[in-house]
Amino acid sequence: MTTLYSLSALSPGQSATVQALHVDSGFQFRLNALGFRIGKPLELIRIAPFNGPLHIKLGNTEVMLRRQDAANIEVLM
């Protein structure tokens, strides 16, 4: 059974696949270039101190992403 979540709802160590990017086209180019594509698996590695950005691993790329931006990425778990 799989469910849709926002990426910001994941806990460290959890994995999911990218389902949709609800962001403006400029940021979408950047996310695509960093490897955020529909169907791509990712893993949340850790969250920075003081409720800071998320540390995400996509394939061979590691990325930091702010919580409010991660909230606009839908993932399937």
Site residues, another protein (CB under 8 A): 23-24, 26-27, 29-35, 37, 45-53, 55, 59-66, 68-69
Neighbours of 7 (CB within 10 A): 23
- Cβ proximity to another protein, 1 vs 39, nearer residue: 39
- Cβ proximity to another protein, 4 vs 37, nearer residue: 37
Nearest distance in Å: CB 43, another protein: 10
- Cβ proximity to another protein, 14 vs 55, nearer residue: 55
Nearest distance in Å: CB 2, another protein: 20
Judge whether 73 and 55 are in contact, CB under 8 Å. no
Residues 6+ apart with CB under 8 A from 36: 18, 21, 42, 58, 73
